[in-house]
Structure 1
């Protein structure tokens, strides 16, 4: 679990459970819970804000939602399930929620659980956790290549060839839990790129962003978990290939651009520039504000409206 003091306290009521400060913080927490903490069983949905209190109390009677980190560790040792309720910051009248559970008695994997029939396993193809355009998956990601020599397996402790040649870089990869864009979202983005290219809409970035450049800039502002980051880079690669076929036509329509910018006119940034300067690595963030918003505050905001 993330090192956040908020997670150590024991709520007096389920309505005191904290709410993540943003969608990205929520996704990061789900990634940690499902991945490292093995909360692999889950169910979710939406509920109106004015019904959130009743819903939360109902779930609290079914599952031990107000246990703190130390108590959940004790429960695991006894073979009991740990269950947590996560709620997304409210948008409009509805609140989106996820119930995540470890294996064990009293959790979503327990056949006698009230929600066992609707629970899904995050590892299964049809059971991945989804948040809007994103899906949480156990996926392979590339690592920074390491240097080795011909005949060197690169494995520590493994016998190496006595006739090793010139040094070269060997690609490396690992598997981890990460967020990725859903397949249909990627397909839709590729179609949008093709449309902007066909319209010769090179566009601009910034406050008045539009066209191809505006579309690509918007993707760089997504939560750049490793899976999403790699997909956004591949979308830029796809866009460069598609735009290369249209650039001459665009230059013909805008001759002044070639005179003003020379070879740089109508050129998208190189993939190296995109990777090193436009796609920052994801960093661990605070999950909750200080003090954190709570389920109770969401219910209160409904009453005040």
Structure 2
């Protein structure tokens, strides 16, 4: 949300957005990479904007509780094919063209103390009404105060953008007034504090193929544990193998995702080429000569696929067989460690004072208070 807010504040006011299933997301990303070259670096986008061309950025985030992605294609004023091909574009500064995060938040311009305006997220009108209904229902549960406390605890954990904080303050006032009107004989009740401020962070990205893989096998979209390999992906991603390569003696896959698997297979060689200052076009021609039509793709899409392939480790492939190779997405697989069961030991005061810690095979458990970033 903070990355989208920063992009719109820097001039990326035109946008197209939507929701897409996880199994179709990578194809959508490749289409945008081919059309609009979304894989450019920050400095390349800056150079293009100075030359009069429009800057284009692509954002996506998994929708909570589903296997779908929320996605946004943002672009600035200037010469761009996006204005010709994206007919459903809207401008974030227009009232009817606001940028939404699902059905819960919207990006708006709010006045500041110095008379100017700034971009910030706030809840939609429908979402605020839902919060008011929850508060009223909780206050009318007169047997105990656990219901209203639970609602207020969830309210405080909302992201602390300026617009959201103002709405939370108004909901606190609404709850206090309704409490005094319904629970007159009960003791006075004060709502908790407002959400904490959002701290600015640099953009943190995760390879899209890794997130898609985790969603398709039923895991959380982000995590450090290895992806379960015992479950198979949908048949749509399966790639039947064809003839073997005479140099590598490995089956050559075919289909929509063939180039992805081959790029993972040749990741080390591609890194060597990049160290030797090979251009992307030279690397693509080398792969085209080695594997054929799988790499007969536009250069921008090839560059984006190479970038994603180099960010993850290769998945083992079958040797000397022509069996079907499942389209296992690029994942970071943790190395399996065979060790004895890990023991937990809480340090005594004497051990903490003298600095003597237990030996190997023991994890030291510290009880600490979580910081604010861990709560959101």
The corresponding residue for 1:280 is: 196
Matched, 1:31 2:9: no
Residues 94-133 of structure 1: pairs in structure 2 closer than 5 A: 94-108=68-82, 110=83, 112=84, 114-115=85-86, 117-132=87-102, 133=104
1:140 Cα deviation after fit: 2.2
1:90 Cα deviation after fit: 5.6
1:213 Cα deviation after fit: 2.1
Find the residue that maps to 2:184 and give its secondary structure: helix
TM-score, normalised via structure 2 length: 0.53
Contact persistence 1:139–1:176 (CA under 8 A): yes
Contact persistence 2:110–2:118 (CA under 8 A): yes
The corresponding residue for 1:255 is: none
Return the structure number with greater strand share: 1
Contact persistence 1:196–1:202 (CA under 8 A): no
Contact persistence 1:101–1:107 (CA under 8 A): no
Contact persistence 1:200–1:246 (CA under 8 A): no
Mapped to 2, the partners of 1:77 and 1:173 lie a distance apart of 29
Please list every run of 5 or more consecutive structure 1 residues that lacks an aligned counterpart in the other structure.
1-26, 144-171, 205-210, 252-264
Contact persistence 2:62–2:68 (CA under 8 A): no
The corresponding residue for 2:206 is: 293
1:191 Cα deviation after fit: 2.2
1:29 Cα deviation after fit: 0.3
Q: 2:189 aligns with which of 248, 267, 270?
A: 267
Find the residue that maps to 1:245 and give its secondary structure: helix
1:229 Cα deviation after fit: 0.5
The corresponding residue for 2:151 is: 215
- Quick one: higher RCO (CA 8 Å, sep 6+), 1 or 2? 1
The corresponding residue for 2:181 is: 245
Assess, with a 3 A threshold, how the Cα gap between structure 1 residues 121 and 217 changes in structure 2: closer, same or farther: same
Mapped to 2, the partners of 1:239 and 1:55 lie a distance apart of 44
Mapped to 2, the partners of 1:174 and 1:134 lie a distance apart of 22
Find the residue that maps to 1:280 and give its secondary structure: coil
Mapped to 2, the partners of 1:124 and 1:94 lie a distance apart of 27
1:103 Cα deviation after fit: 1.1
Larger Rg over CA atoms? 2
Q: 1:226 aligns with which of 158, 162, 165?
A: 162
Mapped to 2, the partners of 1:267 and 1:64 lie a distance apart of 55
